[in-house]
Amino acid sequence: MRFQQALPILFLYLFFGTNPLLAQIPKVPAQLEFADLTLKITPQAQREIQLDVDAQYRNPSYFKVKQERFQLYMPIVERELRGMGIPEDLKYLVIQESGLISDAVSTSNAVGFWQFKQGTAEEVGLRVDAQVDERKNIASSSRGAALYLKKHNATLDNWMTALVSYQMGLGGAKAYFGNQYSGKKVIEVDRNTHWYFKKFLAHKIAYGNAFGLLVSNRQLVEEKIQGPVTMAALAKRFGVSEEHLKEYNKWAGNGRVPAGTFTLFYIKEASLPIEPAIVKSPEEKPKKSQSASTASAKNSPIYKQANSYPRISGNTTKANQPNQITVNELDGVLAGKTTSPSKFSDEIGVKEKKFLRINDMNPGERIETGKYYYTEKKKTSAQVDTHLVLPGETLWSISQKYGIRLASLKSKNRIRKDSDLKAGMVLNLREPRKRGEDITILPISQPVQQNKSVIASATKPVEAKPSTPTYPRETAQPNRVTHTVAQGETLFAISRKYGVTVENLKSWNSIGSQNIISIGQKLVIFKP
């Protein structure tokens, strides 16, 4: 075979052969076994479910993280389901509900692996109080979920409708389905089948296929312990770090096990990486000055993604001039000074009304120094699937960050106002959220509050009264200074001058991933 003929084959091997996730995206079959049911899936439903399967694989690194959690926790989930006589197929529901994140919280205040509200958790025998929250215990919560599903199936006599009742409750399922599926063993899945069940099938197909692809030597160990006892004491007993135990035992409030008998979880292997709620990149380690959860969150892929936008390309040395750069692949411009939309639109040659409409701004709002604005209509979807809401962000600032229309962002997530936005929310940027589907909220630390009247933030410009910045008690309050950028200066040079990091400068002044600063720009700096 000649070299030119071999090139396409070599490319396909390198691209797909080295990435098994891309090479093995499973296809939705026309017939599928689920629990004791045979499902016949229509072509239209196949296409719909396939979109959800593909979405699971779209971000290989995030899929791998969920896959690793699946392998870690699934032996315990399967054991608890078997113990209650529940078909093991229902194990995929826990991935759909929480992504196997122990302290995930939904917008309706459902908590933990299986997303129980407090009242429902107590109904299935879970302890929920200030000392213990068994919703965050993989074994206890799986038993509770099994009991809940078993009870509902006894009434509905069909595992499909029992599964959907997990989302809408027993009363809701009885009203929605009636008796049409009671005792039925062959079911046609079509365009009218409830979205929650089709989403479940996507998870079953995606993760059922991927389960055997990853080989890991990590094993979740269970140890019976007697309280009261601290995590520090248990860490010494089992030869792991206190932070590790706290991460895998979030069911224990305040890092202390109260009086009684409990099960402790930890990872047994040569090294003991923490598996945080927001996943930490394996090559990075938390700084000692941060809590484990804070450091993990800031090192996570989804956190880094949120801080890597907007994406700037083009002639960045003339970013404050029109037709020089693109912002998220759209024509844009960097504001070199704070001014009015009227003056700014004149400078860049765009009519003011058009400029305001493109950027989802209202008349009278200010153009802020160092921020990017669009001169081309934003898109209805972003380049990435999701966004992790960071403290201080608004719907407008998120829409500007990704170049997505504000109305589209609100519509996709069924959120209409900033007061409904919470730090840690995972917002959809491409696919709309289903009706009745909660928004997952991941734990993320709140930053130190700073003076909004001085520091350029990522939020939509608003007038705010000056307030005194607050700092942790254990650190001295730094001196705040303002630095005016001179010709030839770089972020690195400025950071060296004041003894701070480049990341600090970028964070304090909302500077994007391209590290662009302009002559005369005023930077706020907190000297240590």
Residues 416 and 491 in one domain: no
Q: What is the pLDDT of residue 22?
A: 47
8 Å CB contact between 390 and 444 = yes
Tell whether 269 is covered by a domain: no
User: Tokens standing for 381?
Assistant: 């979807």
Residues 388 and 509 in one domain: no
Secondary structure of residue 518 in the 3-state scheme = coil
Q: What is the pLDDT of residue 244?
A: 92
Tell whether 21 is covered by a domain: yes
What range defines the domain where residue 73 resides? Answer: 16-101+114-121+134-210
CA 459, chain centre distance (Å): 20
E strand residue ranges, 269-397: 312-314, 325-327, 330-334, 372-374, 386-388
Determine which of 77-86, 115-124, 199-208, 293-302 has the lowest per-residue pLDDT on average: 293-302
Q: What is the pLDDT of residue 32?
A: 92
- Report the DSSP pairing between strands 37-41 and 186-189: parallel
pLDDT tens, residue by residue, 173-183: 999 999 999 99
Residues 494 and 404 in one domain: no
Tell whether 255 is covered by a domain: no
Residues 421 and 452 in one domain: no
Give 377's contacts (C-beta < 8 A, 6+ positions apart): 330, 358
Determine which of 175-184, 281-290, 302-311 has the lowest per-residue pLDDT on average: 281-290
Residues 437 and 406 in one domain: yes
Residues 479 and 341 in one domain: no
Phi-psi domain of 387 (left: phi exceeds 0; alpha: psi -120 through 50; beta: other):
beta
- Distance in angstroms (rounded) separating the CA atoms of residues 497 and 105: 43
Question: Could you tell me which residue, 13 or 184, shows the higher pLDDT?
Answer: 184
8 Å CB contact between 268 and 221 = yes
State the average pLDDT over residues 435-440: 80
Residues 93 and 181 in one domain: yes
pLDDT tens, residue by residue, 392-418: 788 999 999 999 999 999 999 989 888
Residues 336 and 419 in one domain: yes
DSSP 14: I
- Distance in angstroms (rounded) separating the CA atoms of residues 160 and 62: 28
Question: Could you tell me which residue, 62 or 355, shows the higher pLDDT?
Answer: 355
What CATH number corresponds to the domain at position 474?
3.10.350.10
pLDDT value at 329 more than 80: yes
E strand residue ranges, 269-385: 312-314, 325-327, 330-334, 372-374
In order of 71, 75, 236, 257, 389, the CA distances from 261 in angstroms are: 27, 22, 19, 9, 38
Out of 189, 210, 231, a domain closes at 210
Question: Could you tell me which residue, 453 or 187, shows the higher pLDDT?
Answer: 187
Percentage of the chain beyond pLDDT 70 is 77
Tell whether 223 is covered by a domain: no
Taken as a whole, the chain contains a residue count of 528
Q: What is the pLDDT of residue 310?
A: 84
